[in-house]
Amino acid sequence: MNRPRNRGWPLVVPLAALLVVLLVGGACAPRPPSMPVSRPPQVVDLGLLARRLAAMQPGWPAPAPDCRRDRCVALTFDDGPGPHTGRLLDLLRARRARATFFVVGHMVAAGRAGLVRRIAQEGHELGNHTWSHAALTALPDDRLRRELLRTGDLVRRLTGVRMRVMRPPYGMTDGRVARETRRQGMAQILWDVDTRDWRDRDPADVTRRAARASPGSVVLMHDLHRATVRAMTGVLDRLSRRGYRFVTVSELAGGGRRASAAKR
């Protein structure tokens, strides 16, 4: 006896195909435009964006400070380069801080030409601090002239930089020293904040005294001393929290601040 044939089977394929067409067609069918979503206008802080880019990309140039508007301070280092100057440069580079280094000629000549080149290459300013760190007011005219010229010539040969600023050792100056300095195309730079790091080799004391800076201050330190370099993280942190930008003395002067400060 023959079994009856299943007459419903031929309908399965067309119905399944129809279902697929409906599903796919529904997915592909154009959708009605969505209602616009109201969003508040976005305000872009370009300064913040630049700082974030700088943090993400080492070497990204930070915007140049305008010391007529920004809170600027000039960190200055005398008597080097010395055995701790390299570490100091590492700290400044990590914080994108610029400084001014008043170098002594005989220290440069004592096998530290590479450090002087690095100071210039990393955007810091080089200043003349004489050849032998002599008290200029006590020297005859010819030796006063040589103290400045000899250091200036050496730094220029090594780096191509003609120094435009000078600091007299011990802050000792007079009209004669000022005239010779001008004759050699330099400005005298003293200071208004003395950390006394040459006397008190205590990082906490150096940090506390440097933090007394006000907008436009020139801070005196010495890169010869390990304690000074150890203090730099605290100095940079405390002044940064107060909104200071770290600039060279020439940038400070160019931004409308004083070019030199009276010694206290």
Catalytic (active-site) positions: 78, 222
Is the bond leading into 41 cis (omega within 30 degrees of zero)?
Answer: no
Contact 73, 251 (CB under 8 A): no
- CA-to-CA separations, 264 to 14, 64, 214, 228, in angstroms, rounded: 100, 30, 14, 20
Is the CA virtual torsion 58, 63, 65, 71 positive or negative? negative
Phi, psi of 11 (to 5 degrees): -80, -15
From 221, 212, 18, 20, select the one nearest 102 (Cα to Cα).
221
DSSP secondary structure, 130-172, as one string: -SS---GGGS-HHHHHHHHHHHHHHHHHHHS----EE--GGG-
Phi, psi of 36 (to 5 degrees): -60, 140
Query: Helix crossing, 85-94 with 226-241: angle to 10°?
Result: 20
From 262, 234, 255, 260, select the one nearest 72 (Cα to Cα).
255
Cα distance from N-terminal residue to C-terminal residue, the chain: 125
Place of tokens 């800076």: 213
